[in-house]
Amino acid sequence: MRPRALDITLPDWLPPAVPWDRPHTTADDRMRLANHLADANVRHGTGGPFGAAVFDLTTHRPVAVGVNLVERAANAILHAEIVALIFAHATLGRYSLHAEDLPPHALTTSCEPCAMCLGALLWSGVRVLECGASREDAIRLGFDEGPVFPASYAYLEARGIRIVHGILRADAAAVLEAYRQRGGVIYNG
């Protein structure tokens, strides 16, 4: 029998760990949340060292969050960015976060997105991408980030998406290193 539904469930620790009603007015503040989620995912042993959040840029409050669920769900596409976007679309009941009646949204992620996540970002409708650790930081651990080039980011910027790299990079890279030190699985290498 083939499955008719897919259940994507966040770890139990996650929803209470998010200050849903608190505005995150700066990129550093938003990145602190993404890094906290990545770190907690490693500490709780619930997935890889990546965290992401979608923010309403008018209220500056989180709309949805995600952590890497690849191993936990045995699903290669459940990267933190994808999970955050899935839950943002479900929360708002919209397939695009760029609808005229919606405020602009940012995707804040603890590490520069892989090729798959960059593609999802484009179609999601977010207007801002905020990144912590670099692609090189993830590659040093052994993660394969796929075909991401300077032209990939230029394409997104030409489509109206503002991109900020290196926000609290050292903090984000420290989470990656903690994952390595714990013997975390490199699941796409």
157 catalytic, yes or no?
no
* Whole-angstrom distance, CA of residue 157 vs CA of residue 47: 31
Strand order in the sheet with 105-111: 62-67, 51-56, 105-111, 128-133, 162-164
Instruction: Give the separation between CA 105 and CA 125, rounded to whole angstroms.
Output: 8
Catalytic residue among 81, 112, 130, 145: 81
Phi, psi of 182 (to 5 degrees): -80, -5
Paired tokens of 181:
């030190």
CA quadruple 143, 122, 54, 89: dihedral positive or negative?
negative
Nearest to 115 by CA among 153, 142, 85: 153
Q: Give the containing element (helix H, strand E) for 63.
A: strand 62-67
Residues carrying an active site annotation: 81
